[in-house]
Structure 1
Amino acid sequence: MCAELSRRLVPDTLWELTAPLLPRFPARPQGGGTAPLAERAVFTAVVYVLASGCSWRLLPDAFAVSPATAHRRFTAWSSAGLWAALDRAAAAGTVPGSEADWVAAIVGAARLRCRAAE
């Protein structure tokens, strides 16, 4: 179920558009900590929260991303201008029709979350 839902939330064309826009997180020199998560998995978890409107702490365990990680990345991506960059890319016609609507919905939900946090 989770794999199918993940592909519906973040289709390959959306991921191909998004992946180069994501800021890179530097490796921590002290080592330790948890294993790095796949960026697509984290992005999918963030899209789920944005699309469903649920709180970060209600992110289902099936995504294998902690609510804290999803929220931290959302905040970092918002500060880096990811949502505006996705909006520009969709407006430029680089996203197929129905997926352009989905990108617009995600961007709109992200902007609402950003405003709510201010």
Structure 2
Amino acid sequence: MTDLVERLVPDVLWVLFRRVVAPTGVIRPQGGGRVRAGDREVLAAILFVATSGCTWRQLPSVFGPAWPTVCRRFAQWSEAGVWARVHRVVLDELGARGELDWSRCAIGSVSVRAAKGLLTGPNPTGRGKSGSKIHLITGRNGLPLSLGISGANMHDSQGLKPLVRGIPPIRSRRGPRRRRPGRLRAGKGYGYNHLRRWLRSRGITHRIARKGVESSQRLGRHRWVVERTVSWPAGCRRLHRRYERKAEHFLAIAATRSCHRRLTK
């Protein structure tokens, strides 16, 4: 069991996670009760559920904590914004190492099936079935800098401004924190003049494909990094289809999965 926990939650991820979630005492002041399940074992169980796609009830007992404990703590951490803070800590760590490339960022989205819950809508590319859409901005190396979720019927262009505003101030190897891409590349779905003017007003050089001018055969020349990143849900069964009713829980799994994939690469 120890080997499985260390493989799912390597030391580098555990150290960063401890910056966000402080250790909790296992001794109850009033005495009695059961010993609190370890956070590392619970985090490993959450990552196992996210990767395998199994339900909480199907969680193997090899991790130690019972499935109600894992599910309850996942909900508590999601409500407390732990996953967003972990994502930011990982970005700060990679930025301090100089592993974030801001020179050419890209924006994209991916639609997933969602039976019910908030921020769902009829998918125009999926025969009108209910679904959600994950929006994200990635650096040149494909690491998500900003993530968001909406109904599947929301147009991609409406997610550009919230995503750009949502990029947190990230540490750099030298100089102050940074939160603006040097260049942002986008597909034809973002080709609106008001978006181009808005990006220029923020000092961001844009490269948005023009409708009826540029061929679709060359659009992926520089945007393949975001296309590769949005394909990650296919390898994470819990993101391949949305089962969580609350949108923040689903987005928490996406952020955690991206951090885990980058640190265990």
**TM-score after normalising by structure 2:** 0.35
Q: Write the distance in 2 (CA, Å) between the matches of 1:85 and 1:76.
A: 14
**CA separation in 2, counterparts of 1:12 and 1:95?**
18
Counterpart among 247, 251, 256 of residue 115 in structure 1: 247
Q: Deviations over 1:51-104 (max 9, x none)?
A: 22111111101011100000111001001111111111222216987xxx6xx9
The amino acid that maps onto 2:14 is W
Whether 1:8 aligns to 2:7 is: yes
Whole-Å separation in 2 of the counterparts to 1:60 and 1:80: 26
Distance across 2 between alignment mates of 1:32 and 1:57: 27
Q: Give the letter aligned to residue 3 of structure 1.
A: T
Q: Distance in 1 between matches of 2:88 and 2:69?
A: 26
Structure 2: runs of 5+ lacking an equivalent: 100-142, 144-228, 251-265
Q: Cα–Cα, structure 1 residues 7 and 117, in superposed 2: closer, same or farther, change >3 Å? A: closer
Aligned residues: 110
1:29-60 CA-to-partner distances (Å, cap 9, x unmatched) read: 54432112222111111221122211111110
CA contact 1:13–1:95 (8 Å) conserved in 2: no
**Structure 1 match to 2:45:** 45
Check conservation: 2:45, 2:59, Cα contact below 8 A.
yes
Deviation at 1:115, TM superposition (A): 2.0
Letter aligned with residue 41 of structure 1: E
Summarize the alignment of residues 1-80 of structure 1 with structure 2, pairs less than 5 Å apart. 2-22=1-21, 29-80=29-80
Q: Is the 8 A contact 2:78 2:249 kept in 1?
A: no
Q: Is the 8 A contact 1:59 1:67 kept in 2?
A: yes
Contact residue 46 and residue 70 of structure 1 kept, 8 A: yes
What secondary structure, in the 3-state scheme, does the structure 1 residue paired with 2:84 have? helix
Aligned to 2:155: none
Moved more, 77-86 or 28-37: 28-37
Q: Which has the higher contact order (CA 8 A, sep 6+)?
A: 1
Shift in CA distance, 17/94, structure 1 to aligned 2, threshold 3 Å:
farther
Change (3 A) 1:94 1:21: farther
Kindly, what percent of the aligned residue pairs are identical?
Answer: 35
Deviation at 1:24, TM superposition (A): 6.1
* AA matched with 1:42: V
Larger gyration radius, structure 1 or structure 2:
2
**Gap change, CA 1:67 and 1:50, over 3 Å in 2:** same
Partner Cα separation in structure 2 for residue 32 and residue 94 of structure 1: 45
Q: 3-state DSSP class of the match of 1:48?
A: helix
Q: Determine helix, strand or coil for the equivalent of 2:35.
A: coil
